[in-house]
C-alpha cells in the first residue's frame, strides 16, 4: 500500500474570453477507496462539452470497482470509458441542438498500490515530475503515428492535424472517434508530482519552469503563482486557464498515509 500523502489543488482563470469553458475536478470513487481521479477538459463552442465530460467522469468513476492488487489495464480502461461515453453523448447532443461542440480531455488515476495511469485527447496536457524535475509529459507523438498508420497519411500531413477538422483529435468530432494516448508509472513515492493543465497555461511556460513552481510550493500557492504569471506573460491576450496539481509527500503520521489532501 501507499507510503505517501496526497496534496492537491485546482485553479482557473477566465483570461480575456467572455466565458470560462474549461472544467477541472479532483474526484474520489464511491466503490474505490484510496483511488483518486483528476480530470480536466477544455471546451470549444461553449462549455457544454466540458461540462458533459466532468458529469460522465463522476458517473463512471463512482461505478468503478478495482480488482485486488495492482491493475494498470483496468485503470486505462476506466479512462477510455470516460472518453468513449462522453464522446457519444456530446455527438447525440449535437444532433439534437444542431450545434457541434468539442472538448479536450486529460485524466489521471492514482491507486493505493502506487500506480499512476493517465490519458489525454487533444491539446490539454499532463506533466509528471520527480524530485523537482519534469520526467514526462503528454504529447501528440502517438496520435501522429496513429494517423500515419491508420489513415496512411504522410507524416507532415499527420503532424498538421490541428488544421484539419477531419483529423482533429477531440471529443465530439462527428468525423473522427477520439484517440486516447495512455501513459503510466509504478512505484509512486514522496517527491512525485503531476500537473494537468489547459493550453491557456502550458503555452506560457517551459517544462523546467513548471517543475520548479510545483516543487517549491503547496499546490494552492503554485496554482496562484502560475495563473498570475500566465496572465502577465499573455499581456492580457490569454485564453481560459485551468490546472490541477497533485503532489505526493511524506505523511505527517502513519495514519495519514495514502489519504487525499484537501483540494482547493
- DSSP string across the chain: ----EEEEEEEEE-TTSSS--EEEEEEEETTEEEEEEEEEEEEESSSHHHHHHHHHHHHHHHH----SS--HHHHHHHHHHHHHHHHHHHHHHHHHHT---EE-EEEEEE-TTSEEEEEEESS-EEEEEETTEEEEE--SHHHHHHHHHHS---HHHHHTGGG-TTT---BT-TTSPPPPEEEEEES--TTEEEEEE-HHHHTT--HHHHHHHHHHS-HHHHHHHHHHHHHHHHTT----EEEEEEEEE--SSGGGTT-B----
> Model pTM?
0.91
Q: Give tens-digit pLDDT for 102-160.
A: 999 999 999 999 999 999 999 999 999 999 999 999 999 999 999 999 988 899 888 88
Which residue ranges make up each domain of the chain?
5-256
Q: Under CATH, what is the fold of the domain 5-256?
A: Phosphatase 2c; domain 1 (3.60.40)
Asked whether the predicted pLDDT for residue 2 surpasses 80, the reply is no
The pLDDT value recorded for residue 257 is 44
Q: Give tens-digit pLDDT for 166-208.
A: 789 999 999 999 999 999 999 999 999 999 999 999 999 999 9
Amino acid at each position: 500500500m501507499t507510503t505517501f500523502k496526497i496534496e492537491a489543488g485546482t485553479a482557473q482563470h477566465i483570461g480575456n474570453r467572455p466565458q470560462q469553458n474549461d472544467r477541472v475536478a479532483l474526484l474520489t470513487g464511491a466503490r474505490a477507496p484510496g483511488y483518486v481521479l483528476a480530470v480536466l477538459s477544455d471546451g470549444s463552442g461553449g462549455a457544454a462539452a466540458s461540462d458533459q465530460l466532468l458529469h460522465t467522469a463522476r458517473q463512471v468513476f463512482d461505478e468503478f470497482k478495482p480488482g485486488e492488487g495492482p491493475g494498470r489495464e483496468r485503470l486505462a480502461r476506466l479512462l477510455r470509458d470516460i472518453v468513449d461515453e462522453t464522446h457519444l453523448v456530446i455527438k447525440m447532443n449535437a444532433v439534437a441542438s444542431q450545434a457541434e461542440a468539442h472538448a479536450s480531455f486529460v485524466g489521471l488515476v492514482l491507486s493505493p498500490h502506487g500506480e499512476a495511469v493517465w490519458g489525454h485527447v487533444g491539446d490539454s496536457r499532463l506533466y509528471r515530475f520527480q524530485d523537482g524535475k519534469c520526467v514526462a509529459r503528454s504529447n501528440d507523438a502517438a496520435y501522429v503515428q496513429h494517423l500515419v498508420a491508420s489513415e496512411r497519411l504522410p507524416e507532415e500531413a499527420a503532424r498538421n492535424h490541428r488544421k484539419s477538422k477531419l483529423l482533429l483529435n477531440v471529443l465530439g468530432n462527428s468525423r473522427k472517434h477520439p484517440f486516447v494516448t495512455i501513459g503510466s508509472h509504478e512505484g509512486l513515492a514522496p517527491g512525485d508530482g503531476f500537473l494537468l493543465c489547459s493550453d491557456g497555461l502550458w503555452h506560457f511556460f517551459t517544462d523546467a519552469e513548471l517543475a520548479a513552481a510545483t516543487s517549491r510550493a503547496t499546490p494552492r500557492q503554485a496554482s496562484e503563482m502560475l495563473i498570475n504569471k500566465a496572465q502577465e506573460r499573455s499581456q492580457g491576450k490569454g485564453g481560459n486557464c485551468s490546472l490541477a496539481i497533485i503532489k505526493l509527500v511524506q505523511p505527517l503520521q502513519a495514519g495519514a498515509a495514502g489519504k487525499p489532501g484537501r483540494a482547493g
